[in-house]
Amino acid sequence: MTTAPPAGAPPRAALLSPVTTSLPAPEAEPAPPVRRVPLAVAAVIGAALSSYVFARHGAKPGTLLLLGIALGFALFHSRFGFTSAWRQLVAVGNGTGLRAHTLLLGTTATLFALIIGSGTGLFGSVPAPSAGPLGIGLLVGAFLFAIGMQLGGACASGTLFAVGSGQSTIVLTLFGFIVGSTLAAWQFGLWSDLPALDPVLLSDHVGWFGSWAVTIAVLAVIWFVARAVQNRRTPPPVGTPPSARGALARAVRGSWPLAVGALVLAVLGAGVLLVSGGAWGVTSAFALWGAKVVGALGGSPEAWEFYRQPGSAAQLSGPVLADKNSLTDIGIMVGAAVAAAAGGVWTLHRAIPGRTAVAAVLGGILMGIGARMAGGCNIGAYLAGIASGSLHGWVWGAVAILGTWAGLRLRPLFGLGNPKPTDSVC
């Protein structure tokens, strides 16, 4: 619930009081009519791809593609963002998005603890936690990634669902993302030996129940701190996307509450872990796509040190539509296209200012390099890491806040605005 404080009254400070904003949250406008042609095209693409993957590669890859489509549907309808959440928090103190993160992280951590702790997997998979080293690469990579998010306008998952919904500017971000990921893979030797400590998993020290309990306790503190900060600063409310009326119509054509999006995404992310044995990830697919293009143009990505790591050579030599992260990434774009068209808001933005285009490509490149250096993005490192009880996920998130602060100061150079306390929405 968001409320505006009475005129002349100080902001409420009690942690359990309603969260305050400078103005009431705006009412959602009615959803536009269904975009029938984009919906039909997206549905046909989704059905054709699913049929092909099931027939050619089997039930496991086919299920991953369907999970990706569902992830895209949920990401778009809930407008679940990481870039905007950190921007709103740092710029004006609105912690709405960060509190949604804690719900997503806590629910995912609970499901991960049950799945990994019990060794439950489908299709013969053995679930494993996501853990990464603690070192210079993590710090520099997360910082660069966060700056790139603010310049490119989206995070890893946000880039995919924005591209699926027809946002042309973010297509440039995705292009830069692929370029940056490919450059980082090509020059793996420049940064792979940076000083680092071994990964730290809480479950190795306190067991899966202890790891889950510590994670939930820390997330609860963050949730309350985010409320306190917002009550103290009284920021503008978050904007409300168009939505259909009625529960069923809203589920298919409307905007979902962030809490609903967090819960659905947590369940779907746990589904990826159950099916594949690994957590939901995004950015390793971008390096693979770039390497495939390099190979098609006559290059030799198989000679890169990056693709001589255990398991990487098989990923490079295998088909894209059998790669776990490629399947979910492609699915997210298709699912978001279906959701946006059903909601009547799928559109192509043809006029892109020059500085915005430069920022989009540059932001994508920084995210691609940063994700490879840090061993993951806001999904593969932040979400999967924290949910797995890995210390590197917490470090990634803390550094991303600092990178967001830096990114906000760079945005005006490219004609990009930042939320202000006097705005009607942020």
At residue 6, the pLDDT reads: 47
Considering only 110-119, 238-247, 416-425, which range has the smallest mean pLDDT?
238-247
Looking at the predicted structure, is the pLDDT value of residue 93 above 70?
yes
Q: Is pLDDT at 12 greater than 50 in this prediction?
A: no
Q: What is the pTM of this model?
A: 0.94
Average pLDDT rounded to a whole number, residues 76-88:
96
Q: pLDDT for 250-302, tens place per residue?
A: 999 989 999 999 999 999 999 999 999 999 999 999 999 999 999 999 999 99
Would you give the distance in Å from CA 190 to the centre of its chain?
A: 27
How does residue 16 score in pLDDT terms, banded at 50, 70 and 90?
Answer: low
Query: So what's the pLDDT on residue 1?
Result: 41
As a whole number, mean pLDDT of residues 47-51 equals 98
pLDDT of residue 17: 65
Residue 2 pLDDT > 90: no
In this prediction, residue 3 has a pLDDT band, given cuts at 50, 70 and 90, of: low
Burial of 269-282, coded b for 16+ CB within 10 Å and e otherwise, reads: bbbbbbbbbbbbbb
Burial track 189-216 (b if 16+ CB lie within 10 A, e otherwise): eeeeeeebeebbbbbeeeebeebbbbbb
| pLDDT, average across residues 97-109 | 98
